[in-house]
Amino acid sequence: MEIKADGEQIVIHVETIEVKVLGDLANQLLDITSPDSEVVKNEDPLAALIGIDSQAAKPTDPISTRLFPDAYPDDPDASMEFRRFTERSLRDTNVTRAKRVLADLEGRTKLTLNPDQWQQWVGFLNSLRLALGTRLEIDQESWTEERSESDPLYQLHELYNWLTWMQETLISIGYFGEE
């Protein structure tokens, strides 16, 4: 993979296998973040229109808990209320980002990202790193530890490092914010 700035755009050259890996990861993120079909439907049409859930439940899966954490860990009621107002939009944002990445990757090994696409990619990579880091139980102290190739999780750690490199590179060469 090669990532370069080209004026107001970022150009990414990817290998076919990298396209497949990123596509698979995008589909997995869609599976994790898509609204659950079992979620109670909104009874209030206005709440449904503006994206507020009438009821909210704390995720039970560690990855979902990491992607959609409690806003107030010491106050479960306040956390549930906050979740009711925000979780749907957070899920929608993750779904939009994953779909953007899938659309950008479709049949391509050269990607050209405009500032909006760049922002979607950076957010997508952040969510992937949070999810994978949770699965690997990576914390601030352990994320730089060297792994033996005989470690059963070695390849997943290498994937995490690659995603970190990709996100770091995109951020360092592609910030399109105000000066």
Domain boundaries along the sequence of the chain = 2-174
What per-residue confidence (pLDDT) applies to 178? Answer: 41
Tell which residue, 86, 174, 79, 59, has the closest CA to residue 125.
174
Full-model pTM: 0.86
Q: Which stretches in the chain have pLDDT values below 50?
A: 37-40, 177-179
Residue 160, classified by CB atoms within 10 Å of its CB into exposed (0-12), middle (13-18) or buried (19+), is buried
160's tokens: 């995490």
Q: How far is CA 91 from CA 8, 51, 75, 155, in A?
A: 29, 11, 22, 28
Residues in the chain: 179
What per-residue confidence (pLDDT) applies to 46? Answer: 61
113's tokens: 């990202």
What per-residue confidence (pLDDT) applies to 18? Answer: 97
